[in-house]
Chain A
Amino acid sequence: MRPDDVSLVISLCRARAGLKISAEKTYLIESRLSPVARREGYESISELLAAIRTKREEPLIWGVVEAMTSGETAFFRDRAPFETFQKDIYPTLSRARGGEPIRVWSAACAAGQEVYSLAMLNEIMQAQDPGVRIELAASDISTRALEQAQSGIYSQFEVQRGLPIRLLLKHFEKVGEQWRLSASLRRMVRWRRVNLIAGLAAVGRFDVVFCRNVLSGLEPPFQKKVLEDLTLVLPDDGFLILGAKETAEAAGEAFSPVAARPGLYRRNPAFRAAAAAAA
């Protein structure tokens, strides 16, 4: 790739989605963008980017940005956060809410494996206690990812990443060489497109936010902004779940880590009060 093509991709991704992409990752840019170029009818990535330079068409630009956001994912990824949700977070919040439904948001849901893992977990929890009430919402910046997620259709490779075979048999049906999640689980999730760096005031309120392995892909100023905006989404006793190797340090006092639970944070109620007083 030509250096000016690489810098165009980097600047578009930063401006639109806050993404941090290193100029050394040319191979990554190439592997993500060649399918986009093909799909849009261009001979090469270079031609695709030349068209973006001259026409500045939003759908083309977003095609590039969306392709660069997609990441690795799996059902029940890292396992621990799901156990923590079932054993600690849900019981704590449910007691505090007197049995009101607990609202959970999978931010940056990609192809939906995380939110559907929560839907399956909800079934398991309801089998033990019919009083369990969980509402699920999921969002992504990529409309293509949202479409795949809503379809609930996964390849044989995808359903073998993190998904126990008994859950595959219970909740999926085989369609050709692919597997489709049951309609009842798909209906549990409300979907919408959200660009996390564009402000979260309209997103609504959630008791628990799964935002794993997203912030580490953003430029530091955007990490801070997203974390601070998340304090508007979470109630005083809400939980934020980041990737096990991520921290909320960029937002100072906004969140406090939960001991012995890597990536798990509680909102710090004093933070917003302090911010309001300062303003």
Chain B
Amino acid sequence: MKTCLVVDDSRVIRKVARRILEDLGFEIAEAADGMEALAWCRAAMPDAILLDWNMPVMGGLDFLLKLRTEPGGDAPVVVFCTVENDVAHIQEALDAGADEYIMKPFDGDIIESKFAEVGL
């Protein structure tokens, strides 16, 4: 079973995303900020990461930049999922190594479509 780490400081968003991704056949782990997410990845690298941008302790972009320098950190498919919806943010995320980008609000169709886009 493929694993997906859902990184968001909102428990509600994590719960919604978990339900959608479980329906798509993923096993889910959750983290509330980038630092927690990094700890998860060092323990067991997931196949995919759904990643919020603005979070306390460590934000999504800082997490992504760190992740890509970790051993095996180039493997997970990273899909940003954030309220940031301007061209500059999207470009910055792609430059930092994101594979896809979801602008909130999202629904099941959008997550399914975006994950299909990156071959998951």
Residues of A at under 8 Å CB distance from B? 74, 79, 156-157, 160-162, 164-166, 168-169, 173-174, 177
A161 contact set on B, CB distance < 8 A = 109-110, 113
B87 contact set on A, CB distance < 8 A = 169, 173-174
| Interface size of B in residues (CB-CB distance below 8 Å) | 17
A164 contact set on B, CB distance < 8 A = 100, 117
Contact between chains at A165 and B90 (CB < 8 Å): yes
Contact between chains at A169 and B103 (CB < 8 Å): no
Question: Within 8 Å of chain A (Cβ to Cβ): is B101?
Answer: yes
What separation, in Å, do the CA atoms of A173 and B91 have in the docked complex? 13
Question: Within 8 Å of chain A (Cβ to Cβ): is B85?
Answer: yes
A156 contact set on B, CB distance < 8 A = 85, 103
Question: Within 8 Å of chain A (Cβ to Cβ): is B94?
Answer: yes
Select from chain A the residue with minimum beta-carbon distance to B88: A174
Contact between chains at A74 and B113 (CB < 8 Å): yes
Question: Within 8 Å of chain A (Cβ to Cβ): is B38?
Answer: no
Contact between chains at B102 and A169 (CB < 8 Å): no
Shortest Cβ gap from A158 to chain B (Å): 10
Select from chain B the residue with minimum beta-carbon distance to A77: B113
Select from chain B the residue with minimum beta-carbon distance to A168: B90
CB contact between A157 and one of B91, B110, B116 (< 8 Å): that residue:
B110
Given contacts A160-B102, A164-B117, contact A169 B90 (CB under 8 A): yes
Contact between chains at A160 and B94 (CB < 8 Å): no
Knowing that A79-B116, A160-B106 are A-B contacts, what are 20 other residue pairs whose CB atoms are under 8 Å apart, sorted by A's residue number?
A156-B85, A156-B103, A160-B113, A160-B114, A161-B110, A161-B113, A164-B117, A165-B90, A165-B100, A165-B101, A165-B114, A165-B117, A166-B94, A168-B90, A169-B87, A169-B90, A169-B91, A169-B94, A174-B85, A177-B85
Shortest Cβ gap from B80 to chain A (Å): 9
Select from chain B the residue with minimum beta-carbon distance to A174: B87
What separation, in Å, do the CA atoms of A183 and B119 have in the docked complex? 30
Given contacts A160-B110, A164-B100, contact A174 B91 (CB under 8 A): no
A166 contact set on B, CB distance < 8 A = 94
Interface residues of B in 68-105 (CB under 8 A from A): 85-87, 90-91, 94, 100-103
Question: Which of A157, A165, A168, A173 has the most C-beta atoms of chain B within 10 angstroms of its own C-beta?
Answer: A165
What separation, in Å, do the CA atoms of A148 and B103 have in the docked complex? 22
Shortest Cβ gap from B59 to chain A (Å): 19
What separation, in Å, do the CA atoms of A236 and B114 have in the docked complex? 38
What separation, in Å, do the CA atoms of A174 and B109 have in the docked complex? 22
Shortest Cβ gap from A165 to chain B (Å): 4
Task: Please name 6 pairs of A and B residues whose Cβ atoms are closer than 8 Å in the assembled complex, sorted by A.
Answer: A157-B110, A161-B110, A164-B100, A165-B90, A166-B94, A177-B85
What separation, in Å, do the CA atoms of A108 and B37 have in the docked complex? 46
Shortest Cβ gap from A255 to chain B (Å): 29
- 6 closest Cβ pairs, A-B complex: A165-B101, A160-B110, A164-B117, A165-B100, A156-B103, A162-B113
B116 contact set on A, CB distance < 8 A = 79
Select from chain B the residue with minimum beta-carbon distance to A156: B103
What separation, in Å, do the CA atoms of A165 and B79 have in the docked complex? 10
B90 contact set on A, CB distance < 8 A = 165, 168-169
A79 contact set on B, CB distance < 8 A = 116
Select from chain A the residue with minimum beta-carbon distance to B102: A160
